[in-house]
C-alpha cells in the first residue's frame, strides 16, 4: 500500500480507529472478529496477525481453540459473517433482529455496527492480501506447507521502488512485448472512443437496464481459471482444502459465492443504488451509531475512487476516470448493485476477459487467486498500477458489504 502513500494514510487512520480508539466493542473482541472475518477466506496472514493482537490486548487464549470456546454472543455473529463475506444480498432485517433481541446475549446497535464495519473491512482486506500476493501460498514441497510468494520474481521490498519492474512475466510468455503494447494502445483507444460516444448520444433507460442485467448475469459465469467449464464441481475443490487451524473460527466452511450461480437456483436481486446510497443513507447511520468512523470510511472511499496519477503504463497525461469507474462498478455489479446513470456497456468495452476473471476471483473467492491470474491481465502495466486496481476492488467490495448490512439495519429501525 505504501506505493500509494495518500491512500495508505487514509487506510491506516480508519483501521487504527476501528481497532484501537474508543468504540462500542472491547479491544480483544475487535481482533477476534477480525480473525472470524479473515477465516471466511482462509487468510492465514491476517489471522496470525490478529491472533497476536488478540493476546496482546488481553484476549482469553482459550478462545483461540475455536468457536465453541467463545461466548455465545460472539458465536451469534457467524451467520452475518458468512452472508456478508459471500452473499451479502441475503442479509435481512430478521438477521439484525435476531442479533439485537437475543436476551442476555444481545448486541446493542452501536456494537453491531462496529462489528459489521470490522467484518466488511477484513473480508475486503483479505481480497487485497491475496490479490497482491501477500498471503503465504500453500506449497506441498515445503515441510510446513507455506512459502511466501514474491510477485513477479521480485522480493516485496523491491516492489516498493516499483521502477525496476518491467513485468517479469513477459519474458517467460510466448506473447512478445509487441502484443501487450498493442493491448495497451487498444485499451486507450476504447477509452477515448467511449468519451466521444458519450458526448454524442445517450442510451435509453431501458437499454441501460438491459445492459446492467446482461453484465450482472454474465458476471455469474466468469469463473476463476475457467476450470468450471471442463471439470465437475468436485475436481475444483482439491485446492480448497481448509486447514483445521482456520476452520475452527468459522461454521459452514463450504458456503461461498459461486455455488448459487452454477446451480442456477437462486436469483441475484438488483439493489438500486439510488434507493440506498453510502452518501445519503449508510454514512449517516454509521456515524450516528459509531461516531467518526463514517467520516474516516467516507474519506477512504473518496480517496480511492479519485486517486489517479494520470498515467497508464508508459503513457502520461491520461484521464483514467472511465477505467476506475468501470472497475468499481463491476465489483458492485457482481453483488447486484446497479447505478442508474452508469452505462454498463462500458464495463464490457474496458475490462478484458482475463481482467474480469481476476476481479471476480479477488472479490468473490480471493483464496483462489494465483500469480498467473495477476500476470495475465494488462501485461504492460506497472506493479503499482495493479496494486491500485486491488485498492479499488477492496474498497468497492467493502462498500458493497456495508450497503447491504446497513440497509438491513435501517429496515430494522423503521
Per-residue model confidence as pLDDT tens digits over 117-133: 999 999 999 999 999 98
Mean pLDDT throughout 316-338? 92
Q: pLDDT at position 73, please?
A: 93
Q: What are phi and psi of 101, to 5 degrees?
A: -125, 50
Strands of 70-118, DSSP E: none
pLDDT on residue 177: 52
What is the per-residue pLDDT for 244? 54
pTM for the structure as a whole: 0.85
How far apart (Å, rounded) are the C-alpha atoms in residues 295 and 331? 23
Distance from C-alpha of 242 to C-alpha of 246, rounded to nearest angstrom: 7
Catalytic entry in 43, 155, 157, 364: 43
Residue 231 in this model has a pLDDT that exceeds 80: no
Burial 367-403 (b: 16+ CB within 10 A, else e): bbbbeebbbbbbbbbbbbbbbbbbbbbbbbbbbbbbb
Q: Answer yes or no: is pLDDT of 102 > 90.
A: no
At 25, the pLDDT band (50, 70, 90 cuts) reads very high
43 is catalytic: yes
Question: What is the number of residues in the chain?
Answer: 414
Res 265: pLDDT: 54
Total Cβ atoms within 10 A of residue 248: 15
Q: Are 356 and 333 in contact (CB under 8 A)?
A: no
Q: Which residue has the cell 470490522?
A: 118
The alpha carbon dihedral of 133, 134, 138, 141 has a sign of positive
pLDDT of 406 > 80? The answer is yes
Mean pLDDT, range 124-148, rounded to an integer: 67
Q: In this structure, what are the phi and psi dihedrals at residue 344, rounded to the nearest 5 degrees?
A: -70, -5
pLDDT of residue 312: 87
Selection from 73-82, 164-173, 223-232, 309-318 with the highest mean pLDDT: 73-82
Amino acid at each position: 500500500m505504501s506505493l500509494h502513500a495518500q491512500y495508505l494514510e487514509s487506510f491506516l487512520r480508519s483501521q487504527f480507529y476501528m481497532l484501537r480508539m474508543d468504540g462500542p466493542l472491547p479491544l480483544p473482541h475487535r481482533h477476534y472478529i477480525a480473525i472470524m472475518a479473515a477465516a471466511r477466506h482462509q487468510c492465514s496472514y491476517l489471522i496470525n496477525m490478529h491472533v497476536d493482537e488478540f493476546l496482546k490486548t488481553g484476549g482469553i487464549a482459550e478462545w483461540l481453540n475455536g468457536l465453541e470456546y467463545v461466548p455465545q454472543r460472539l458465536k451469534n455473529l457467524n451467520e452475518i459473517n458468512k452472508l456478508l463475506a459471500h452473499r451479502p444480498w441475503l442479509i435481512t432485517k430478521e438477521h439484525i433482529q435476531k442479533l439485537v433481541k437475543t436476551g442476555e446475549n444481545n448486541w446493542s446497535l452501536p456494537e453491531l455496527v462496529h462489528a459489521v464495519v470490522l467484518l466488511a473491512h477484513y473480508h475486503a482486506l483479505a481480497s487485497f492480501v491475496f490479490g497482491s500476493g501477500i498471503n503465504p501460498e500453500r506449497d506441498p514441497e515445503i515441510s510446513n506447507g507455506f512459502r511466501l510468494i514474491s510477485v513477479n520474481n521480485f522480493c516485496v521490498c523491491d516492489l516498493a521502488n516499483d521502477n525496476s519492474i518491467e513485468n517479469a512475466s513477459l519474458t517467460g510468455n510466448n506473447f512478445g512485448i509487441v502484443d501487450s503494447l498493442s493491448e495497451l494502445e487498444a485499451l486507450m483507444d476504447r477509452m477515448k472512443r467511449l468519451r466521444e460516444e458519450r458526448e454524442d448520444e445517450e442510451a435509453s433507460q431501458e437499454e441501460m437496464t438491459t445492459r446492467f442485467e446482461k453484465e450482472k448475469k454474465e458476471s455469474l459465469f466468469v469463473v476463476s481459471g475457467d476450470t468450471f467449464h471442463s471439470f465437475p464441481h468436485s475436481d475444483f475443490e482439491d485446492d480448497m482444502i481448509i486447514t483445521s487451524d482456520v476452520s475452527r473460527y468459522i461454521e459452514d466452511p463450504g458456503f461461498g459465492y459461486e455455488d448459487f450461480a452454477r446451480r442456477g437456483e437462486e436469483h441475484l436481486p438488483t439493489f438500486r443504488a439510488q434507493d440506498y446510497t453510502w452518501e445519503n443513507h449508510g454514512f449517516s447511520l454509521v456515524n450516528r451509531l459509531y461516531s467518526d468512523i463514517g467520516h474516516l470510511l467516507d474519506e477512504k472511499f473518496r480517496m480511492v475512487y479519485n486517486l489517479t496519477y494520470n498515467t497508464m503504463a508508459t503513457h502520461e497525461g491520461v484521464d483514467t476516470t472511465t477505467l476506475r469507474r468501470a472497475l468499481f462498478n463491476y465489483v458492485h455489479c457482481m453483488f447486484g448493485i446497479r447505478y442508474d446513470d452508469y452505462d454498463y456497456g462500458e464495463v464490457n468495452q474496458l475490462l478484458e476477459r482475463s481482467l474480469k476473471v481476476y476481479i471476480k476471483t479477488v472479490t468473490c473467492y480471493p483464496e483462489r487467486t494465483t500469480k498467473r491470474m495477476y500476470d495475465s491481465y494488462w501485461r504492460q502495466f506497472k506493479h503499482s498500477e495493479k496494486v491500485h486496481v486491488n485498492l479499488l476492488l477492496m474498497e468497492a467490495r467493502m462498500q458493497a458489504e456495508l450497503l447491504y448490512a446497513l440497509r438491513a439495519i435501517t429496515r430494522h429501525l423503521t
